[in-house]
Amino acid sequence: MDAIQHISPYLISNYVFPNDIHVHWSMMIVLYPYITGLVDGAFIVAALYYVFGVEKLKPVARFSLIFALAFLCCATLPLLLHLGRPERNLNMMITPSPHSAMAGFGYIYGISMGVLVLIILFIYRPFLVEQRLKSKGVMEILYRLLTFDSTNVSEKSLNMDKKIIKFLVAIGIPIACVLHGYVGFIFGGVKANPTWSTPLMPVIFLFSACVSGMSAIIFAYIITKTFTKQKIDMDCLKILVNTLAGFFILAFCFEMLEVFSHTYLRSGYHHMVEGLLNGPLRDSFWKYQVLYFSVVPLFLLGFICLLPIKQWLYKFTAFITSFLLLLQVLFMRWNVIIGGQLMSKSARGYTEFHPEWFDKEGIVAVIIVMAIPFIILFVLGRIFPFWEKDSVN
């Protein structure tokens, strides 16, 4: 009790409402925005090439799309594991409540998935047509399906494809933004939780999604190219890192603005959240999210973006920075979702959360859920080659 008194003079008895002792949204709900964030960020990388014509991003554009698809396939998995009655999950589609933010998830998710799959199929069409003509049996049927049973790869047809791709990616960008902004809104729309209830929440989620997705692409690009002993396109990597730096500065600024503006205002919000950030979240917020995984990468990004350094050092620093930023976003999700629930609605105390290993939402389940997209990515890689040089184009 002394420690709590030290944190905030407004908390005397550290009283938690009896039903607030349980943290209802645990690890799976941390993963849910994390995975959708990776999808959105990766999609933005592809969009920069396909819509905005950033030619230097061509080497990673297709990989980004397949990466986004692999993770999008698993975006619902944490939610299903979290539900008390997962067998009723389709109720969300059958009897949706028009008032609920969460009711839109199935539709927004479905549209995102449809658009992404179509984009990939159109982009890979020439390659898929070629594979179809080469393959037999089951694979032929698969390629027939994937090419819409068309073998037309004439110049006219390919030009039409390009227009379709541009249109799909163009509508895909707002859909990707809606998907993750909407995930942020699900939290921001909970007025009973002072750490969530802010209009900035969707914006913070959106920018951090871009950061995590881009970091994942940089990380995966460097690691796969290094292990397969292929050349890393430095122009592509540099533009990726520069874009990541821009998005991260925005994301970090918004995250800090949210805290510091309330600290300056010293409103009721501040007095409630102050104890949380300086108490149960002191390490995970200030030490890890802010210091180790935000300030350090910020300096590293400044270092590689502004100074002329050797290629190997650039690649190494970019690799480390992207890894730190992946952790930054994970910690940010944890601090928002778990942290927000640690503060009782009594505004008089904090509960505790200790993840279990073998729970339905435990650490092992988290590892499995995070491993599945990589397995899907590997399988997709067999059908849709990631790197441009493998294409018939």
Partner 1 sequence: MDNKISMDNKISDDRRSFIKKVLNGTIGGSLLLVFSAGAEIFKSPEDIPAQIPSLKNKEYEITKAHFAFIVDITKCIGCGSCCVADKREYNVADGYYRTWVERYLKDYDDNVYVDSPKGGLEGYQSPREDIDVKVRDTFFVPKLCNMCKEPPCVQVCPIGATFQTPDGFVLVDHKRCVGCGYCIQACPYSVRFLNPVTKTAEKCSWCYHRVRKGLQPACVSVCPTGARKFGDLNDENSEVSKILKGPGVITVLKREMGTFPGLYYIGARREVI
Binding partner 1 (rule: CB under 8 A), the pick from 211, 317, 341, 366 is: 341
Q: Between residues 79 and 369, which has the closer beta carbon with respect to partner 1?
A: 79
* Residue 111 interacting with partner 1 (CB under 8 A): no
- For helices 296-306 and 311-342, the axis angle rounded to 10 degrees is 150
Q: Smallest distance from the beta carbon of 186 to partner 1, in angstroms?
A: 8
Cβ–Cβ contacts within 10 Å for residue 131, how many? 20
Residue window 12-31: x/- pattern of binding to partner 1, with contact defined by CB under 8 A: xx-x-xxxxxx-xx------
- For helices 200-227 and 311-342, the axis angle rounded to 10 degrees is 140
Segment 348 to 377, residues that bind partner 1, using CB under 8 A = 348
* Residue 2 interacting with partner 1 (CB under 8 A): no
* Residue 92 interacting with partner 1 (CB under 8 A): yes
Task: Provide φ and ψ at 127, rounded to 5°.
Answer: -65, -45
Q: Smallest distance from the beta carbon of 117 to partner 1, in angstroms?
A: 25
Binding partner 1 (rule: CB under 8 A), the pick from 53, 97, 149, 312 is: 97
Q: Smallest distance from the beta carbon of 386 to partner 1, in angstroms?
A: 35
* 352 CB-contact burial (10 Å; exposed 0-12 / middle 13-18 / buried 19+): exposed
Q: Smallest distance from the beta carbon of 15 to partner 1, in angstroms?
A: 4
Binding partner 1 (rule: CB under 8 A), the pick from 91, 152, 242, 393 is: 91
Distance (Å, rounded) from C-alpha 45 to C-alpha 243?
9
Q: Between residues 37 and 349, which has the closer beta carbon with respect to partner 1?
A: 349
Per DSSP, the three-state class of 36 is helix
* Residue 189 interacting with partner 1 (CB under 8 A): yes
* Residue 88 interacting with partner 1 (CB under 8 A): yes
Chain position carrying tokens 């090419």: 147
Q: Between residues 86 and 302, which has the closer beta carbon with respect to partner 1?
A: 86
Residue window 195-224: x/- pattern of binding to partner 1, with contact defined by CB under 8 A: -x----------------------------
CA 150, 151, 155, 156 dihedral sign is negative
- With CB under 8 A, what is the number of residues at the site for partner 1? 44
Distance (Å, rounded) from C-alpha 282 to C-alpha 285?
6
Which two tokens mark 71? 């993770």
Task: Provide φ and ψ at 15, rounded to 5°.
Answer: -90, 125
Question: Do residues 41 and 212 make contact, with C-beta atoms less than 8 angstroms apart?
Answer: yes
Distance (Å, rounded) from C-alpha 86 to C-alpha 158?
43
Binding site for partner 1 (CB under 8 A): 12-13, 15, 17-22, 24-25, 79, 82-86, 88-89, 91-92, 94-97, 99-103, 105, 186, 189-193, 196, 341, 344-348
